[in-house]
């Protein structure tokens, strides 16, 4: 029987352009259900795909600060999130939630 070698799946390797990055963030926002740590981790995946050093520089953060902010261990402040999203070349959008009452 041959041994199967596996590697850990890294979503950052599959985020190759701004459209894929935006679609990934949108999907994570929809699934997060209020979990800010999940959004932070999604932003970390996108930042790794784009290059952490470049994103940190563009966001006006040190690389270490960026890693800490997006670690998912604690919720980063909203100012940091906005700076990272801008550094990633992404935009946030809002839409009305659909009411379940008739």
The tens digit of pLDDT for each residue in 24-39 reads: 999 999 998 888 888 9
DSSP 3-state assignment of 48? helix
DSSP 3-state assignment of 80? helix
pLDDT at 99: 63
Distance CA 30, CA 102 (A): 23
- What are phi and psi for residue 100, nearest 5 degrees? -95, 0
Give the relative orientation of helices 36-50 and 18-32 as an angle to the nearest 10 degrees.
Answer: 170
Confidence of residue 3 (pLDDT cuts 50, 70, 90): confident
Tokens standing for 57?
């520089």
pLDDT at 8: 81
Q: What is the pTM of this model?
A: 0.83
pLDDT at 70: 94
HSE-up of residue 42 (Cα within 13 Å, Cβ side)? 21
Predicted confidence (pLDDT) per residue in 70-95, tens digit:
998 877 888 999 999 999 999 988 88
Distance CA 58, CA 32 (A): 26
């Amino acid at each position: 029987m041959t041994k199967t070698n596996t590697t850990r799946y890294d979503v950052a390797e599959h985020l190759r352009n701004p459209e894929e990055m935006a679609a990934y963030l949108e999907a994570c926002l929809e699934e997060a259900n209020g979990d800010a740590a999940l959004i932070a981790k999604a932003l970390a995946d996108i930042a790794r795909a784009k290059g952490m050093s470049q994103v940190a520089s563009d966001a006006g953060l040190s690389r270490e600060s960026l890693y800490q902010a997006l670690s998912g261990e604690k919720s980063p402040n909203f100012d940091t999130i906005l700076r990272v999203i801008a550094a990633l070349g992404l935009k946030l959008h809002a839409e009305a939630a659909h009411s379940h009452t008739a």
